[in-house]
Structure 1
Amino acid sequence: MDIRPLSETYAVSPQIALEDLEAIRDAGYRAVIDNRPDAEIPDELHTGAMRAQAEALGLAFFANPVIGGALTMQNVTAQAEAIAAAPGPVLAYCASGNRSSIVWALSQAGTRPAAELIAAAAQHGYQLAHLAPQIEALAAQKSAS
């Protein structure tokens, strides 16, 4: 398990295993967001198994499968809603942490400058600079509504 904090309340990780969930809870995370579609992973890591184990440990669990190269606004909205509903710090995971970083940055548009969101991800090797125009456009939409 490789936890990479992007903010005080949100971290990403490459794929986690069932046995990692206890350590995630013990590290202070209170919610887990699964950004990985079941079709990409072995049966034992499917959403249902991960949810059951997380909830048995007292963690909130949210499934928001993001298909590589096919991110939707529904994914962005679902990520924002999961973060807002989480009872404490969130750990989101996918194959490498990249999709969890991208959907986070887009979901947080307007809460912090785009450059800060991009820099937070870059500290852990996630290159999101190409998303700056999208983050800024989403922030403008939020401020207009």
Structure 2
Amino acid sequence: MFKTVTNNLAIGSIAESEALQEIAQKGYKTIIDLCPASEGNQLDASMVKEQTLEYVSVPVSPKNLTIETLEAFKKAVKVSPQPIYTRCASGLRAGIFTLLVLAEQEGWTEAQYLEQFQTLGIEQKPDSPLANFAHTYFEKNEKENLAVN
């Protein structure tokens, strides 16, 4: 799967060498891989680099689904050559983390985030750990904004 989110950000689940070559040919400079090695779906960094792409690993799993992990992803997006393709096994983690970065940059509400998420066409169970993480993220930001104002 390959979905363009913005001019500089795309998401998906691509793992094959030929598909990575297509991503490089489209002008992408960096692959951010959200699969942990223990999952068995992590890309081979040397295969990515063969396509003249930068490779960044920010493993995301239910065990490390924290603000710190999101901050590590935000930093990777900020410092990596763009455009960036973020991937995971299904595209779900890639979509959520990418949209959370955009939500912060654009000042989206949770409703705006959910609207954008719908456009990605990625299936997600309503009570999934990732859905709960995103909801908690917006709740926390809303409380912080109220405290500041």
> Unpaired runs of 5+ in structure 1?
none
> Following TM superposition, where does structure 1 have runs of at least 4 consecutive aligned residues deviating by more than 4 angstroms?
127-130, 139-142
When the two chains are superposed, the root-mean-square deviation of aligned CA atoms in Å is 2.7
Q: Percent identity?
A: 24
**Higher CA-based Rg:** 2
Counting only pairs closer than 5 Å after superposition, residues 57-136 of structure 1 correspond to structure 2 as 57-68=51-62, 70-112=64-106, 113-114=108-109, 115-126=111-122, 131-132=134-135, 134-135=137-138
* TM-score (ref. length: structure 1): 0.77
Q: What are the superposed Cα offsets for residues 96-127 of structure 1, whole Å, 9 maximum, x if unpaired?
A: 11111122233334211134433222112236
* Matched position secondary structure for 1:123: helix
Q: Distance in 1 between matches of 2:27 and 2:112?
A: 24
Q: What are the superposed Cα offsets for residues 48-106 of structure 1, whole Å, 9 maximum, x if unpaired?
A: x2x11222322111101111475122220111111111211111111111111122233
The one-letter code matched in structure 1 to 2:137 is Q
Query: 1:7: Cα distance to partner?
Result: 2.0
Name the count of aligned residue pairs: 137
> Unpaired runs of 5+ in structure 2?
125-129
Q: Is the 8 A contact 1:77 1:107 kept in 2?
A: no
* Matched position secondary structure for 1:55: helix
Q: Distance in 2 between matches of 1:139 and 1:61?
A: 34
